[in-house]
Amino acid sequence: MADLIFASHNDNKSREIRQLLPDYQIASLKDLGFTEDIPETGNSLDVNAAIKAERIFKEYQKPVFADDTGLIVPALDGAPGVFSARYAGPEANAQANMAKLLRELEGEENRYAYFETVICYIDAQGEKHFFSGKVKGRILEQQQGEQGFGYDPVFCAEGESLSFAEMSPAAKNAISHRGRALEAFIRFLQPS
C-alpha cells in the first residue's frame, strides 16, 4: 500500500503531485480502482478538500490528502472561485471554462487574479490538517502555451512573462499555488 493516498481522479494533478513529492509512494484513486465520483458540494475550497479526504479515509482507513483549487478573479466578484472546474457548466472542460472566462473579462482593464489551493490531510489517527498556497497574477487576453492544464494557458503569475502553460513543469511547480500548499504539507510531514 502507498505511503499516502491522493484523493483525486485527475491524472494531471496526480502527475504534478508525484513530481512535487518524490520521496513518497502516492496512490491516486485510479491506482486504487476507486471510480466513484465524490461530489464537491461545499461553498469553500477547504470544505471541498475535506469532503474528498473524508470519503476516502472512511473507505481505506489510510493517511489521505485531497486538494481543491480555485481561480479567483476579483473583477468577476471572485468567480470562478470554488466553481472553477465547472465554470462553464456541469459538463464543462478546460477549453469551455477558459472561453467563458475570457468572454466575461472582455474590455475589463483589471485582470488581476490569483489561484489558491487548499489541501486537507487526514493522518492515520483520523485528524484533519489544512495547508494552503496562493499565487497572484493576471488573466491574459488570450491563451498562450501548450503545457499544463486547467486555466494555465490564460494565467500569468506576478513577475513572470510566460503563462503557466508556457513554463516547464518544474518552473511552474516552483511558484505555483499547488506547489506552495505542498511545501507547507511537506514541512508538516517532515519537520526538521
What is the residue whose three cell numbers read 503569475? 157
Domain extents in the chain: 4-189
Question: What is the pLDDT at residue 1?
Answer: 43
Q: What residues form the annotated binding site?
A: 8-13, 68-69, 149-152, 172, 177-178
Catalytic residue numbers, as ranges: 68
Contact 41, 51 (CB under 8 A): yes
Dihedral angle of Cα 123, 180, 78, 68, to the nearest 10 degrees: -30
Q: What residues form the annotated binding site for substrate?
A: 8-13, 69, 149-152, 172, 177-178
Q: Whole-prediction pTM value?
A: 0.90
Q: Where is 28: in which H helix or E strand?
A: strand 26-28
In the CATH hierarchy, which fold is given to the domain comprising 4-189?
A: Maf protein (3.90.950)
Kindly report, residue by residue over 57-86, the tens digit of the pLDDT: 999 999 999 999 999 999 999 999 999 988
